[in-house]
Structure 1
Amino acid sequence: MKKRLLSMLCIILTISLVGCSKPSTTEEINVLESSYEEILESAKGSTVNFYGYGGDEVMNKWFDSYVVKQMKERYDITVKRVGMNIDEILNQLISEKQANSDKGVIDLIWINGENFKTAKENDLLFGPFVDKLPNYQNYVDGNSDDVTTDFGTDVDGMEAPWGKAQFAVAVNSDKIKQHITDTKSLLEVLKENPGKFTYPALPDFTSSAFVRNVIYDIVGYENVAELPEDEEVVKKAIQPAMDYLNEIKPYLWNQGKTYPATTSQLDNMYSDNEVYFTMTYSPNSFLGRIESGEFSKATKIIEFNSGNLSNTHFLAVAQNSQNKAGAMVLADFLMSIDAQGSKTDSNNWGDATVLDMNKVPADEKSKFSERSIVIENAVPELSAGMVPIIEKIWTQEVLESE
């Protein structure tokens, strides 16, 4: 997800949009004081507006063909998916708040990291609500650190987990024979294959993870994790990693003079053999793309000895949602065994489950894909506040450097 807030949307336009919108539910209840059965009944016949990153076409297809259909058939709830970058979503919520609108157009949000921190600190989210959701109570380890915290920010029941992501660089092993285990061996390969590696310009969220992974490898996670969120302190600590990213620039695609705008563009370059590397936050999704012929069958995942970043992505309810009941039902369904199992299939999405498999009944475990790319030595994310600091430093030290 992109992480920079854009300029505030025109308040007049926002008021106009909100004024034209229709309530998503005809019966208002206090969901935090209601039973889940009452929440289900209130949500019946309503419409839920789901807002989130729309650039993953594999995920979009799964959501539209499976989730939307299941929500209508099971609960008589219509789900409308709106693909929008997270900065625009936050912009919309802030604009509505400044207009004192309690009739927002957004119900459920796909969110995590610094964006959750921003939304929480600005009172843009509703909650705590997750303890009301049966699938969270029954199948999620509510004491796990990757569920209770989001990039170091306490979740406080305001986010429902619905997937796990792990960063990985992928390589066409037919084109690149050398074994890459760290930034040093990557540099050697890039020198031998100039122009065949690049990464999207930050703040692309996958590319931002690549930069943090480089920092981990060169500086060490333990030497960065406890740093204060102070730009000068962080800059001094991660300078060796910035020096490395400048060192590889001459060997990048287009000699590092320009960068792809998005991970999707990088994927297209990879599938066309314009470059021999790509990167992802969802390694399992590559399985379906390899089978379809989009990616080479020689596609392999690179595992760094220092570890690969891992995180959880979440769902949150907008504070001014007109259909909190419907949003909660959708969040609960997305944590169900059926939905979680379905999305682990690489032909659907390949996203890793957030469920504690020890809590899943034995006769239900077959619903989860046995085909998966498991990356050992996962390392956690930095605090949410560190991410924009690192991205700013990268822009100044790498993108804008000669």
Structure 2
Amino acid sequence: MKKRVVSVLLAATMVLSLTACGSRNDESSSEKKEAKEEVNIEDMSFDELKEEAKGSTVTFYGWGGDEKLNAWLDDVFAPAMKEKYDITMERVPMDIEQVLSQLSGEIEAGTEDGSIDMIWINGENFQSAKENNMLYGPFVDKLPNFEEYIDTESEDVTMDFAYPIEGYEAPYGKAQVVMMVDTAVTPEMPANAEEFMEFVKKYPGKVTYPALPDFTGSVFVRNIISEICGWEQFMDMEPDKETVKAAIEPALAYLRELNPYLWNEGKTFPDSSVTQDNMFADGELVFNVTYGAYDVPVAIEDGKYTETTQSFQFDKGTIGNTNFMAIAANSGNKAGAMVAINEMMSPEIQADRFATMKTLPVVDYDKLNDEQKAAFDEVELGKGAIPQDELLSKRIPEMPAELVPIIEEIWQEEVVGK
């Protein structure tokens, strides 16, 4: 997920401008709508959900900045849903803060047949939406693929940025921070924060990270904090600014020391991870960071990066998380959304996404049969990738969602331009 919402979402000012979004255009008659309202989703079996969803449209709202993912959703997932279930998938590209603002407006206006069905979400966005009663659930216990193929006890599935999920979202894909260099230009791959400091000093003006609250810039800073301060103390820390500031001060001092050697001397930072990525690809920077564990082989294959580009991690590990699919509380097609979410967790779809997108799968490998395992085993990760076993062996958890905006605020006050 990209940017997050950290303010109260149920703003009355959104009501009038968004009321027009409330009704679906595909309802052919009031009788059809009344019949639909009589259906009790809670009592349906999954087979009944499939029957209820047949011939319907499911809207899937989420960040649309990844063109390769957009193409996969449109050209692979949507046709599979149409052929298998007679469900039309409508992808709606929108930043998450806009999605949740639209949803809050519809709910505040009393719209029962909302325009939003599925939402790509995680982190403090999920926490805020759930606590403001904007999501439908719990629902994952109705999905056979969740029970059959997902490790339902894993913290990657039960917790989202240390916040209890409680069945209100289902896993979509996994992410993990990796850093990268072009080894033909800078053969060094720092193994820790100390070596990274020396790397930055050796290549002054050629290293930076995206400005917070960009999702990637924020996780890079949190990774530095975890590296220097240790991540364990933050897992049950109160979301108090002074407490957090005292705990992360050694990392803030480190980041301030970096500044004079960064691009533009740390006075400003790239406005987004997309900007940073383009600067790296163009050779303006010699360092890049991404949440996409296998972004490097994908970019090499696409011709964006040189074949000598290599991913690396710090020895103490890098932050990993899971991104999820949720259902709007006022979705007009909850049955269709559940069928679509279930299919997204199928081994076949996850294997195709792994092969095409190089996205870390959410299925539990040990729960697969031999044929299903083979579909994952035969995927070639490509050049510049960290082997999956090594990558996951250095996976460390996200900090609690409520700490993230506090850290971002402190960074703005204590690091930028210092």
Q: TM-score when scaled to structure 2?
A: 0.91
- 1:240 equivalent to 2:253? Answer no
SS in 1 for 2:401: coil
Hey, what does 2:5 align to over in structure 1? 4
SS at 2:217 equivalent: helix
Residues 64, 94 of structure 2: 8 Å contact kept = yes
Residue 371 of structure 1, CA deviation: 3.1
Aligned residue for 1:45? 55
Kindly provide the CA deviation profile for residues 72-119 of structure 1, in whole angstroms up to 9, marking residues without a partner as x.
Answer: 111111111111111111111111122122121110001111111101
**What's 2:128 paired with?**
118
- In the other structure, the counterpart of 2:181 is 171
- Of stretches 332-341 and 51-60 in structure 1, the one that deviates more from structure 2 is 51-60
Residue 378 of structure 1: which of 395, 408, 414 is its match?
395
Residue aligning to 2:151 = 141
Which of 355, 364, 367 lines up with 2:363 in the alignment? 355
Instruction: Give yes or no for the alignment of 1:102 onto 2:112.
Output: yes
Matches within 5 A, 1:281-296: 281-296=291-306
Q: Which residue is 1:73 aligned to?
A: 83
Are residues 20 and 45 of structure 1, via their aligned partners in 2, closer, same or farther at CA, if it must alter by over 3 Å? closer
Residues 48 and 107 in structure 1, CA contact (< 8 A), matched pair in contact too: yes
* Separation in 2, partners of 1:179, 1:271: 17
- Residue 169 of structure 2 is matched in structure 1 by 159
**Inter-partner Cα distance in structure 2 for 1:23 and 1:329:** 20
Decide whether the 8 Å contact of 1:107 with 1:324 is kept in 2.
yes
The whole-number CA distance in structure 2 between the counterparts of 1:46 and 1:308 is 41
- Asked whether 1:196 is paired with 2:200, we answer no
Displacement, 1:233? 0.4
Corresponding residue of 1:15? 19
Aligned counterpart, 1:342: 352
* Letter aligned with residue 412 of structure 2: T
Please tell me the root mean square deviation across aligned C-alpha atoms, in Å. 1.8
Give the aligned partner of residue 387 of structure 1: 404
Distance 1:179 1:144 in 2: 31
Instruction: Check whether the contact 1:106–1:321 (CA below 8 A) recurs between aligned residues.
Output: yes
The 3 A distance-change label for structure 1 pair 295 and 153 is same
8 A contact 2:120–2:326 mirrored in 1: yes
Instruction: Tell me the residue number matched to 1:279.
Output: 289
Task: State which drifts further: 387-396 or 251-260.
Answer: 251-260
- Distance in 2, matches of 1:121 and 1:266, equals 34
Instruction: State the match for 2:66 in structure 1.
Output: 56
Give the deviation of 1:377 after TM superposition: 1.6
Instruction: Name the SS of the counterpart of 1:80 in structure 2.
Output: strand
Matches within 5 A, 1:195-274: 195-274=205-284
Shift of 1:252: 1.5
Distance 2:189 2:282 in 1: 23
Report whether the alignment pairs 1:333 with 2:343: yes
Runs of 4+ in 1 over 4 A off after TM superposition: 5-9, 19-27
| 1:241-297: CA deviation from partner (whole Å, max 9, x where unpaired) | 112112111221222222222211111111111111111111213212112211111
Residue in 1 that maps onto 2:372: 364
CA displacement at 1:20 relative to structure 2: 6.4
Task: State the AA in 1 paired with 2:93.
Answer: G
**Is the 2:183–2:308 contact (alpha carbons within 8 Å) kept by the matching residues of 1?**
yes
Structure-1 separation of matches of 2:146 and 2:113: 27
SS in 2 for 1:313: strand
Provide the residue aligned with 1:323 in structure 2.
333
More helix by share: 2
User: Kindly tell me: are residues 19 and 179 of structure 1, through their superposed partners in 2, closer, same or farther at Cα, counting changes over 3 Å?
Assistant: closer
Deviation for aligned residue 1:332: 0.6
The answer to whether the Cα contact below 8 Å between 2:172 and 2:362 also exists between their aligned partners in 1 is: yes
Could you tell me how far 1:23 is from its partner in structure 2? Answer: 4.5
Give the secondary structure class of the aligned counterpart of 1:125: coil
Q: Please tell me the residue identity of whatever aligns with 1:50.
A: F
Matched to 1:136, the amino acid is F
TM-score (norm 1): 0.95
In structure 1, the gaps of 5 or more residues are: none
Secondary structure class of the residue paired with 2:311: strand
CA positional deviation for 1:223: 3.1
User: Residue in 2 aligned with 1:398?
Assistant: 415
* Structure 2 unaligned blocks of 5 or more: none
- In the TM superposition, what is the alpha-carbon distance from 1:362 to its structure 2 partner? 0.5
Count of residues in correspondence between the two structures? 399
Please tell me the residue identity of whatever aligns with 1:362: D
User: Does the 8 Å CA contact 2:181/2:287 hold for their aligned counterparts?
Assistant: yes
How far, CA to CA, are the matches of 1:41 and 1:120 in structure 2? 28
d(CA) in 1 for partners of 2:177 and 2:72? 21
**SS of corresponding position for 1:90:** helix
* Paired amino acid for 2:367: K
Shift of 1:155: 0.9
Which stretch of the first structure deviates more once superposed, 285-294 or 266-275?
285-294
Distance change in 2, residues 1:383/1:361 (3 Å): same
Q: Which moved more, 1:216-225 or 1:66-75?
A: 216-225
CA drift of 1:17 comes to 2.1
